[in-house]
Structure 1
Amino acid sequence: MTQDHAQTYLTRPWLTHYEAGVPHEFHSSDRVMPDLLRENARDYGSRPAVSFLGASLNYTQLWQQVQALAAALQKSGVQPGDRVAIMLPNLPQFVVSFYGALLAGAVVVNTSPLYVADELAHQLQDSGASTLIILDSLLPRYLEVQGGVPVKRVFVARVEDALAFPKNLLYPIKQRLEKQHVKVPWSDHILPLRSVIASQKGAPQPVTLRPDDVALLQYTGGTTGLPKGAMLTHRNLIANAEQAWSWFSELKKGEEVGLGAIPYFHVYGMTASMNLNILGAGHTVLVPNPRDLKMVLSEIQRTKPSLFRPCRRCIMPSTIIPISPNMICRPSRPVSVAVRHCRWKRPAPLRKSRGGQSGGGLRPDRIQPDHPCEPGQQRAARRVHRPAAARCGRDGYG
């Protein structure tokens, strides 16, 4: 670095581009992840925390379920530092499992629901996971490899357990009609997550957690080889969420509604949606599949989220689609940068701008592939390392 460059660096010219209200310096707190929910249950207990297709948990109820799961994990033999793998889409059970494992002192291993059996086996072996929390429809993949992995206990979550009446009764019927129902071989080793949580009474045994303790093993995409687990501490996760909160200076604690459409097993969705919303005592509206544009738009229309952080290539074409004759959701920044607060207003005439795009968002009929991971395509770099069945874009998560 030359002297002129060093002098320019010391003046910090990038600060002139910060929006009003964004602090120029940031210092993270010394909290650990479970503290976020504990504080929200105390201060915002009656506020909705997560909702899924009409069913909702407030912060008091969410904290109770997190405590119950933490106690259940401890009673089943989970010790501080043990690995708990979570293989779930965006469901309330993911949030409960993530924070419940951390409260018990365990280390979470985010596990993609897209993994085929051999990919799942590699991650379970590499992480040393002794506990697996998995969706019932994904269980057959675990059963293929159960003899060669260190998992000692499995807790099975079901979609219908997160639904309100009558959807909780209709969903299993729909699964059987579509021949997607999976018969779970219940045993002392494989237990229903809902029953395990409901059977617990009281708080878990206190565990001393420190900011520099490892909280998460987040596995890489494996584009240059086998996926590798990145160690993230409680301080890492807290600081990242607090940084994001500081950057959005207009956010108000206890008032935001966030659309949770980006997968939480990805680090971006986990941080920029789940943890950010919980840090701000926000209401998270969960969408399990970001490619389901009908559901995404329905939830936008129903809940009118103030915070929306999607995967651009998954669902950004939909953010300019009129939801009704009287409302349209437009990102307040170019879609290539971020999707921030949605402004609800009457549709304005589409204006031509650079690149053939319209003001406020991308036209669906002009979207151009800008990433090798488009629907139906496979990321070329993964062909050597991943089986054909695990194609990127197969389900829309990328």
Structure 2
Amino acid sequence: MMEIPSFNALIEQSIITNWDKDALTDFKGATLQYHDVARKIEKLHIMFESSGVVKGDKIALCGRNSASWAVAFLATLTYGAVAVPILHEFTADQIHNIVNHSEAKLLFVGDYVATVIDQTKMPDLEGIIYIPDYSLVVSRTDKLTYAREHLNEMFGKKYPKYFRKEHVHYYKEQSPDELALINYTSGTTGFSKGVMIPYRAMWSNYDFAISVLGNIIKKGDNVISILPMAHMYGMAFEFMFEFLFGCHVFYLTRIPSPAIIAAAFAEVKPAIIIAVPLIIEKIIRKKVFPKIQNNRMRILLNMPIVSKKVNEKIKEQVVKAFGGNFYEIIVG
């Protein structure tokens, strides 16, 4: 029987191995290299520990995809806490219900979510943290307030010279069956149901991705994260696989309109594209169809010899619409 390695050990290994490579970028924004991610994770660990978070506590995250969201998620797992990703499209009532049902101790929120939630509806939370800069939206304990206000000072005392890769030592799950995260469904029948995801499920998705993409994707390749990381499809195949493999993940950080996605494809030139049918269809309709759906093209496509050449040109337009550098498009 194959022994399942520690998933958090894979995170640690990737950060150390890819220390000076680009890791996470907000499209049209800042880039974090793997060592920047490690530094931010360490600061969040200090804040968790100083505020009284213990192994197994639940930490919820609700916001659009971003580099800061990804760091907060990685920090949660590698601390030994249980992550509770929440789709940012959920209503305030759904978010309140999930936070309460999961018994989350802390909640990370994005800019939009911060404006719609009601802290009084989540009485057991000890704090609400703003994802973009990890500032405190709400603190209900002196320990959390002190930890955030003195975070840089505490980090400086712990690492008086500078933070190096040999300082990266993360919590290793004690068993493949240990709980990594609770993923809540879209709640089509009443409130969302929490699905308990063990570490072995996280690892097996990574192992599957390696088996089908490991010989195709290269370290340092660019990918674009379009699907929400709070959903397991986006989490496993547009974030965790790429981060563990040493790729460079770009986040749109806004509503993924066809225009924004097309601009991102043209600039980032992703090595692989993973999406849902609607996104692919929108781009084809906007970027390809206008060039081929006219009377002249219809006539040419009906000419036996010419049609082959025309189809090759159409293919070029499709490839160009998706950045021109991808191995394949995976639609699921």
TM bucket (normalised to shorter chain) is 0.7 to 0.9
Aligned residue in 2 for 1:65? 40
2:313 pairs with 1:349:
yes
User: Residue 76 of structure 1 is aligned with which of 44, 48, 51?
Assistant: 51
Per-residue deviation, 1:322: 4.6
Residues 14, 246 of structure 2: 8 Å contact kept: yes
Residues 241, 276 of structure 1: 8 Å contact kept: yes
Q: How does 1:246-265 map to 2 (within 5 A)?
A: 246-265=211-230
Aligned residue in 1 for 2:249? 284
Residues 85, 131 of structure 1: 8 Å contact kept: yes
The root-mean-square deviation of aligned C-alpha atoms, in Å, is 3.4
User: Residue 239 of structure 1 is aligned with which of 201, 204, 214?
Assistant: 204
Q: 1:307 to 1:102 in 2, by over 3 A?
A: same
2:8 pairs with 1:44:
no
CA distance in 2, matches of 1:247, 1:28: 20
CA distance in 2, matches of 1:50, 1:118: 31
SS in 2 for 1:209: coil
CA distance in 2, matches of 1:191, 1:314: 42
Per-residue deviation, 1:43: 1.4
Q: 1:347 to 1:293 in 2, by over 3 A?
A: farther
Residues 219, 230 of structure 1: 8 Å contact kept: yes
Q: 1:186 to 1:249 in 2, by over 3 A?
A: closer
CA distance in 2, matches of 1:131, 1:80: 13
Residues 107, 217 of structure 1: 8 Å contact kept: yes
2:168 pairs with 1:209:
no
Aligned residue in 2 for 1:155? 129
Residues 84, 106 of structure 1: 8 Å contact kept: yes
User: Residue 188 of structure 2 is aligned with which of 223, 229, 237?
Assistant: 223
CA distance in 1, matches of 2:313, 2:147: 50
CA distance in 1, matches of 2:15, 2:243: 11
1:133 partner amino acid:
F
2:31 pairs with 1:31:
no
Aligned residue in 2 for 1:173? none
Question: TM-score of the superposition, structure 1-length normalised?
Answer: 0.63
Residues 61, 69 of structure 2: 8 Å contact kept: yes
Aligned residue in 2 for 1:306? 271
Q: How does 1:126-137 map to 2 (within 5 A)?
A: 126-137=101-112
Q: How does 1:55-204 map to 2 (within 5 A)?
A: 55-142=30-117, 144-158=118-132, 161=133, 198=152, 200-201=154-155, 202=158
SS in 2 for 1:108: strand
SS in 2 for 1:350: helix
Structure 1 unaligned runs (5+)? 1-25, 163-183, 324-345, 352-357, 364-398
CA distance in 2, matches of 1:319, 1:300: 13
Q: 1:96 to 1:198 in 2, by over 3 A?
A: farther
Aligned-pair identity (%): 20
2:89 partner amino acid:
L
Range with bigger deviation, 217-226 or 74-83: 217-226
CA distance in 1, matches of 2:65, 2:311: 31
SS in 1 for 2:275: coil
Residues 179, 197 of structure 2: 8 Å contact kept: yes
Per-residue deviation, 1:104: 1.5
Residues 125, 150 of structure 1: 8 Å contact kept: yes
Residues 12, 168 of structure 2: 8 Å contact kept: no
2:313 partner amino acid:
P
Per-residue deviation, 1:132: 0.4
Pairs aligned (count) = 284
Per-residue deviation, 1:193: 11
Q: 1:35 to 1:317 in 2, by over 3 A?
A: same
Q: 1:248 to 1:70 in 2, by over 3 A?
A: same
Q: 1:205 to 1:197 in 2, by over 3 A?
A: farther
Range with bigger deviation, 224-233 or 190-199: 190-199
Larger helix share, 1 or 2: 2
